[in-house]
C-alpha cells in the first residue's frame, strides 16, 4: 500500500486504509457565527437562526424546526448550517433556493439517508443569504475548509469526498493526497472528487514516474551523496527489483536523475500532456491475450482512472492558460447594497479578489491596485490577494457549466459576462461604455456570449 494513503499533508489528520476521514478538531468548538466572507464584497447581513428546540422530543423537534423554516426562510441563494444539542456546527450546505432545500430535510417520503441523519442530530439551524449561487458556492467551500463540520466528511461516500493531488515533500519528492490545497507542495491540483480514485492515481503515477512512496523517515542515499561510513543500504520494499522505482534509498540514482523524474511528474500534473494511458492500454491487451484476466481488469480500472485524471488536468491547464479574466455576475438585492453586480477577478483559473461593479470615476481609481495585481504575472508584494488554487476547481466547473449562457438570464434581470485583461479599457469613460453595451446585449440577446 502506498505510504501516502496513510498520511495526509501537515494540515490534515491521518486516515485509515479505507480512506475514511478522521474527525478534525475545529468542529468541536462552540459555534457563534460563520465569520467574515473573503468572497463577498458587501457588508454581511446578520446570521439568521431558528429558536432552540432542546427541550422538545424528537418528533416535536422536527415539527418545530420545519415550522421555523417555513415561517422565516426565503427562497434565495445562501448557505446554511446545522447545530447539534451543545451548539457545535455539524453540517454546512448551500442552495440557490434555501427554503426549498431546508424544507426537503423534513419531507416524510425523503429517500436521502444522510439528510435523515443530519436532521436527527440538529437542534438548531443557521443561515445567511447570498447575492447569487456562485457566491453561495464559494462561501460553502470556505466554511467547510474553515470549520470542518463532521457530517460534511464522515459518512460521505468516497466517490463524493474531495481532495487535492500533490507532488512535494523534499528532499525525496513524491505524490501524496491532501484534503486542502498545499501551498508548500511543488504542485497541488484539485479539488478532485473521489478519494479512492485519487489514492489509486497516486499509486499509478508513482509507478509510472518511478518516484519513492516510502515514509519520509526513510533516508535517501544518492550516488552523488558523500558518506562517512561504507554501510550496506537495504531497500524498504521490492519496487526497485520490480523496476518501478529509481531506488533512491539504495544509492541507485543521483540527485539530478531523480529531479528529472520529479520534473516530468510536475509537468504532467500541471498540463496532463504526458501520455500514460497508451502504455496501460497496451499492457491490458497483452494481459488479456495471455488469459491473465484479473490483471487485465485491474489495468482496465487503472486506465479509466488515468483518463479521468488526465481530462481534469487538461481542463485545469486550460483555465490557467486563459489569462487574467474578470467574471461579472449580476445579483439579487438583499438590502445591503448587494444589488450591484459582483466582479470576480480570476487569475490562473481561480479567484484572487472580489469587488462590486464600480459606479463612478472615484471607485474605478480605487480599483487600480487590484487591477495591477490581477494583471501581474506573479503575486505582487504588498497587495493582498486570495490563492487562485483554492478555487481553481470550483471556478472551472462553474464556467464550464455556464459556458453556453455567459450572458444568460435564468432569472429575470440577471446576466453575466467575461472580459480579458488585454481587452479591459483603462479610462472610466470607456469602461462605462463597455458596461452599458453588455447590459444592453444581456437584455436584448440572451443567447449571445458577452465577451469583448
User: Within this chain, do residues 312 and 377 fall inside the same structural domain, yes or no?
Assistant: no
- Give the chain's domain count: 4
| Amino acid 139: pLDDT | 93
Give dist(CA 206, CA 195) in Å, integer. Answer: 16
3-state SS of 61-90 is HHHHHHHHHHHHCCCCCEEEEEECCCCEEE
From 269, 287, 308, the end of a domain falls on: 269
User: Within this chain, do residues 335 and 392 fall inside the same structural domain, yes or no?
Assistant: yes
User: Within this chain, do residues 104 and 131 fall inside the same structural domain, yes or no?
Assistant: yes
* Alpha-carbon dihedral 21, 23, 25, 26, rounded to 10 degrees: 70
| Amino acid 24: pLDDT | 44
From 111, 133, 152, the end of a domain falls on: 152
| Amino acid 236: pLDDT | 67
Q: What average pLDDT does the chain have?
A: 77
DSSP per residue, 349-407: TEEEEEEEPP-SHHHHHHTHHHHHHHHSSSPPTT-----GGGTHHHHHHHHHHTGGGTT
Q: Select from 287, 267, 337 the least CA-distant residue to 44.
A: 337
pLDDT at 94 over 90: yes
pLDDT at 80 over 90: yes
User: Within this chain, do residues 384 and 399 fall inside the same structural domain, yes or no?
Assistant: yes
pLDDT at 167 over 80: yes
User: Within this chain, do residues 68 and 90 fall inside the same structural domain, yes or no?
Assistant: yes
| Amino acid 14: pLDDT | 29
User: Within this chain, do residues 134 and 102 fall inside the same structural domain, yes or no?
Assistant: yes
Average pLDDT over residues 404-426: 62
Determine which of 126-135, 216-225, 409-418 has the lowest per-residue pLDDT on average.
Answer: 409-418
End-to-end Cα spacing for the chain: 51
At residue 76, φ and ψ (nearest 5 deg) are -130, 155
Q: What is the pTM of this model?
A: 0.73
Average pLDDT over residues 185-189: 87
Which pLDDT band, with edges at 50, 70 and 90, does 98 fall under? very high
Determine which of 63-77, 140-154, 190-204 has the lowest per-residue pLDDT on average.
Answer: 140-154
| Amino acid 404: pLDDT | 58
Which pLDDT band, with edges at 50, 70 and 90, does 12 fall under? very low
Cell 497508451 locates to 278
| Amino acid 379: pLDDT | 59
User: Within this chain, do residues 362 and 302 fall inside the same structural domain, yes or no?
Assistant: no
| Amino acid 441: pLDDT | 61
Residue 341, helix vs strand vs coil:
coil
User: Within this chain, do residues 382 and 424 fall inside the same structural domain, yes or no?
Assistant: yes
User: Within this chain, do residues 113 and 215 fall inside the same structural domain, yes or no?
Assistant: no
Residues 6+ apart with CB under 8 A from 51: 64, 68, 124
Cell 440557490 locates to 96
More confident residue, 384 or 358: 358
User: Which one of 52-56, 137-141, 350-354, 435-439 scores highest in mean pLDDT?
Assistant: 137-141
From 152, 183, 200, the end of a domain falls on: 152
Q: Is residue 282 part of a domain?
A: yes
Q: Which letter does DSSP use for residue 20 in this model?
A: P
Query: How is residue 137 written as a grid cell?
Result: 458556492
Q: Is residue 93 part of a domain?
A: yes
Give dist(CA 199, CA 175) in Å, integer. Answer: 9
pLDDT at 91 over 70: yes
Q: Is residue 451 part of a domain?
A: no
Give dist(CA 338, CA 44) in Å, integer. Answer: 10
User: Which one of 232-241, 308-317, 415-424 scores highest in mean pLDDT?
Assistant: 308-317
Range of the domain at 434: 325-444
- Which of 305-312's residues contact partners 24+ apart within 8 Å by CB, and which partners? 305/197, 305/200, 305/201, 305/204, 306/201, 306/204, 306/276, 306/277, 306/280, 307/277, 308/197, 309/165, 309/192, 309/197, 309/201, 309/272, 310/272, 310/276, 310/277, 311/272, 312/189, 312/192, 312/272
Give dist(CA 394, CA 383) in Å, integer. Answer: 24
Cell 478555487 locates to 391
Q: What is the CATH number of the domain that holds 116?
A: 3.40.1440.10
Quick one: how far is CA 52 from the chain centroid? 33
User: Within this chain, do residues 7 and 89 fall inside the same structural domain, yes or no?
Assistant: no
C-beta of residue 81 within 8 angstroms of C-beta of residue 150: no
Q: Which letter does DSSP use for residue 4 in this model?
A: G
User: Within this chain, do residues 139 and 70 fall inside the same structural domain, yes or no?
Assistant: yes
Q: Exposed, middle or buried, 120 (CB in 10 Å: 0-12/13-18/19+)?
A: exposed
| Amino acid 378: pLDDT | 61
pLDDT at 155 over 60: no
Q: Is residue 382 part of a domain?
A: yes
Which pLDDT band, with edges at 50, 70 and 90, does 304 fall under? very high
| Amino acid 95: pLDDT | 92
Q: Is residue 333 part of a domain?
A: yes
Q: Is residue 252 part of a domain?
A: yes
| Amino acid 93: pLDDT | 92
- Condensed to tens digits (0 to 9), the pLDDT of residues 227-245 reads 655 656 666 677 777 778 8
User: Within this chain, do residues 170 and 68 fall inside the same structural domain, yes or no?
Assistant: no
Residue 188, helix vs strand vs coil:
strand
Q: Is residue 167 part of a domain?
A: yes
| Amino acid 307: pLDDT | 92
Q: Is residue 73 part of a domain?
A: yes
Amino acid at each position: 500500500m502506498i505510504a501516502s494513503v496513510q498520511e495526509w499533508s501537515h494540515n490534515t489528520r491521518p486516515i485509515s486504509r479505507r480512506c475514511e476521514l478522521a474527525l478534525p478538531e475545529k468542529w468541536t468548538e462552540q459555534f457563534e457565527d460563520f465569520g467574515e466572507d473573503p468572497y463577498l464584497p458587501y457588508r454581511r447581513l446578520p446570521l439568521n437562526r431558528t429558536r432552540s428546540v432542546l427541550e422538545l422530543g424528537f418528533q416535536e423537534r422536527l415539527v418545530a424546526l420545519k415550522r421555523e423554516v417555513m415561517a422565516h426562510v426565503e427562497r434565495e441563494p445562501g448557505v446554511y448550517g446545522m447545530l447539534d444539542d451543545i451548539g457545535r456546527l455539524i453540517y454546512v450546505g448551500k442552495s440557490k433556493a434555501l427554503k426549498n432545500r431546508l424544507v426537503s430535510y423534513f419531507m416524510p417520503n425523503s429517500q436521502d439517508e444522510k439528510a435523515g441523519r443530519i436532521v436527527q442530530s440538529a437542534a438548531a439551524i443557521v443561515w445567511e443569504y447570498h447575492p447569487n449561487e456562485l457566491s453561495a458556492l464559494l462561501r460553502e467551500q470556505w466554511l467547510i475548509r474553515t470549520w470542518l463540520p463532521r457530517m460534511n466528511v464522515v459518512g460521505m461516500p468516497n466517490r463524493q469526498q474531495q481532495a487535492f493531488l500533490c507532488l512535494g515533500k523534499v528532499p525525496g519528492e513524491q505524490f501524496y493526497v491532501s484534503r486542502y490545497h498545499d501551498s508548500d507542495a511543488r504542485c497541488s491540483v484539485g479539488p478532485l472528487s473521489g478519494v479512492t480514485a485519487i489514492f489509486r492515481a497516486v499509486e499509478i503515477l508513482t509507478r509510472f514516474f518511478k518516484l519513492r512512496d516510502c515514509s519520509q523517515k526513510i533516508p535517501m542515499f544518492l550516488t552523488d551523496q558523500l558518506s562517512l561510513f561504507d554501510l550496506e543500504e537495504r531497500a524498504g520494499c521490492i519496487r526497485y527489483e520490480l523496476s518501478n522505482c529509481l531506488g533512491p534509498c539504495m544509492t541507485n540514482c543521483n540527485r539530478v536523475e531523480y529531479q528529472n523524474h520529479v520534473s516530468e511528474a510536475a509537468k504532467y500534473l500541471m498540463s496532463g500532456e504526458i501520455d500514460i494511458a497508451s502504455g496501460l492500454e497496451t499492457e491490458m491487451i497483452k494481459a488479456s491475450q495471455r488469459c491473465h484476466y484479473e490483471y487485465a481488469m485491474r489495468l482496465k480500472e487503472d486506465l479509466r482512472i488515468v483518463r479521468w485524471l488526465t481530462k481534469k488536468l487538461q481542463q485545469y491547464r486550460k483555465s490557467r492558460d486563459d489569462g487574467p479574466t474578470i467574471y461579472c455576475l449580476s445579483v439579487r438585492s438583499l438590502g445591503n447594497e448587494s444589488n450591484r453586480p459582483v466582479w470576480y477577478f480570476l487569475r490562473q483559473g481561480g479567484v484572487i479578489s472580489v469587488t462590486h461593479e464600480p459606479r463612478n470615476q472615484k471607485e474605478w481609481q480605487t480599483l487600480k491596485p487590484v487591477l495591477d495585481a490581477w494583471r501581474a504575472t506573479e503575486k505582487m508584494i504588498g497587495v493582498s490577494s486570495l490563492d487562485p488554487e483554492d478555487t481553481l476547481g470550483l471556478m472551472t466547473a462553474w464556467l464550464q457549466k455556464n459556458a453556453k449562457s455567459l450572458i444568460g438570464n435564468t432569472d429575470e434581470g440577471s446576466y453575466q459576462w467575461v472580459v480579458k485583461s488585454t481587452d479591459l479599457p483603462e479610462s472610466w469613460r470607456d469602461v462605462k461604455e463597455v458596461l452599458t453595451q453588455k447590459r444592453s446585449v444581456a437584455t436584448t440577446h440572451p443567447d449571445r456570449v458577452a465577451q469583448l
